[in-house]
Amino acid sequence: MNQIAANQSEKDESSKRLLITFSVMLATIMQALDTTIANVALPHMQGAMGATQDQISWVLTSYIVASAIVMPLTGFVAAKIGRKRLFIYSVIGFTIASALCGAAQSLDQIILFRLLQGIFGASLVPLSQAVLLDTYPKEQHGTAMAMWGMGVMVGPILGPSLGGWLTEYYNWRWVFYINIPFGALAWFGIAAYVKETSIEAKRKFDIFGFALIGIAIGSLQLFLDRGESQNWFSSMEIVIEAALAGLAFYMFLVHMFTAKKPFLDPIMFKDRNFVVGLIVGFMMGVVLLATMALLPPFMQGLMGYPVLDVGFLLTPRGFGTMAGMMIVGRLARKVDLRYLMVVGVLLMILSLWEMTLFTAEVSSWDIVRTGVIQGLGLGLVFVPLSTMAFSTLAPNFRTEGTALFSLIRNIGSSIGISVVTTYLAHRVQINHETFAQYITSFSLPLKMASEHGMYDISTQVGLMSIDAEVNRQAAILGYLQDYRLMMFVCFIMLPLLFLLKRAKD
């Protein structure tokens, strides 16, 4: 009789875990989608709002900056009001802000509502990770992180495709309205099944420490997001933002290690797995979104693909990521997670190496194939990393740690996108200058092309055609050099993986 009761209790507990997982996954997917889904709709918003390119970019900037500044607050607020309560408030606030974004009638309104979206959405991903780590026993953390990782990793990959489809066949406002059903279901599930944590009413708020890290992160994000459009350090705005970020971060580090009750407890950083996890997570952020930032303009600008086709060709990358995560979920208890991560990084290196061989005539199959391989590699790395980074960290640091883990990954993505776009522009100029040295009246290939009627070097139109082709080839090589740069980032990851300690069960 006792055995039957125990079995029934185990089934009930298992069902409850699945419902909790479903609920927090909805919140995770909702927030992860919004990091990229609005990008595709920006031109349509720009036309509807009558905004300039610089003005409409604040729709993205306001969300990114608000989310980055508020994310470190997750641990403190969860301790003061309870993790479940914060989760519910965040889901409701994010859903309402999404509806307001969809209904916005002016540029000022949509920027304000995107700011609110960023504030409420900042806590969703770290809270969902912390809830799943507490819901599942330690031996099932690999499986739990596989499910959580699908939302975090697949969301940004599928975002542009879904955003393009909604914008093309419905309206740009549906990019935001789609969050409403997700938010309603997530709120119901979290309210019904997630357990509340204990409240630390006496915990003091380090306002000076938060102000310093807020200024550092906010300035850094503005620097990264606006640097390219403002021509980097030739703009006083960018110089000020870079100086503020550097100075505030230095002061925050000094304050953290000298204050009695700092905003972030430095004891966390004594955990080797957690620190290595942050470093590798940062690099993962670079590779994850930098590739997504490069491929669409490469395919549209140099290969002539329409935006919907670009979205469909990039979608299989997300399925590769899902497959990698499912493999990890199956093997997590049987194989050393570090070996899975090594295989994942090697697959990413293979994919990026193949991408360095792309041409403007590369086939759709090659784009899909390399995307799936890279997605598979990302899935094999991200889930074990999310598991091992917290495997030895004290449970009382879990909410704070997951917030920092998500923040560092997001900063990595921002830095990665800025680096690859700047490096691309730099390399295109150098490549153009190098190629131009071979365009002379003594060039045999140019003479042959002229004799076959491809170019008429005696006319202005012919010279302009040659310059356009040189620009095109310089751009193609620039993209390939960017892929090579990301391949080197993956090589740097490999030795770091062996610094992770295997946790005892």
Helix (H, G, I), strand (E, B) or coil at 215: helix
State residue 12's pLDDT score: 62
What value does the mean pLDDT take over residues 281-301?
Answer: 81
Tell me how long the chain is: 505
Over residues 20-47, mean pLDDT:
76
Q: What is the tens place of the pLDDT at every residue in 394-424?
A: 888 877 888 888 888 878 887 887 788 888 8
> Quick one: how far is CA 50 from the chain centroid?
29
Name the band, by pLDDT with cuts 50, 70 and 90, for residue 97. Answer: very high
Label residue 82 left, alpha or beta by phi (over 0 means left) and psi (-120 to 50 means alpha).
left
pLDDT in tens, 208-260: 888 888 888 888 878 887 787 777 888 888 899 899 999 999 998 998 888 88
485's torsion region: left (phi>0), alpha (psi -120 to 50) or beta?
alpha
pLDDT at 179 (0 to 100): 86
Q: Which helix (H) or strand (E) holds 499?
A: none
- Is 300 within 8 Å of 358 (Cβ atoms)? no
Predicted local confidence at residue 300, as pLDDT:
75
- Residue 306: its pLDDT value, please? 75
Around Cβ 84, how many Cβ atoms within 10 Å? 18
The Cβ of residue 314 has, within 10 Å, a number of other Cβ atoms equal to 22
d(CA 206, CA 145): 31
Is it the case that residue 444 has pLDDT exceeding 70? no
Please give the average per-residue pLDDT across 455-462, as a whole number: 63
Per residue in 117-140, pLDDT tens?
Answer: 988 988 888 888 788 888 888 777
Of the chain, the percentage scoring pLDDT greater than 70 comes to 87
What is the SS3 assignment for 88-126? Answer: HHHHHHHHHHHHHHHHCCCHHHHHHHHHHHHHHHCCHHH
Please give the Cα distance from 503 to 138 (Å, whole number).
Answer: 10
pLDDT band at 2 (very low <50, low <70, confident <90, very high): low
Mention every residue, 6+ apart, whose C-beta is less than 8 A from residue 494.
342, 345, 346
Residue in the block written with tokens 């990091």? 35
What confidence category does residue 345 fall into, taking pLDDT thresholds of 50, 70 and 90?
A: very high
State yes or no: pLDDT of 505 exceeds 60.
no
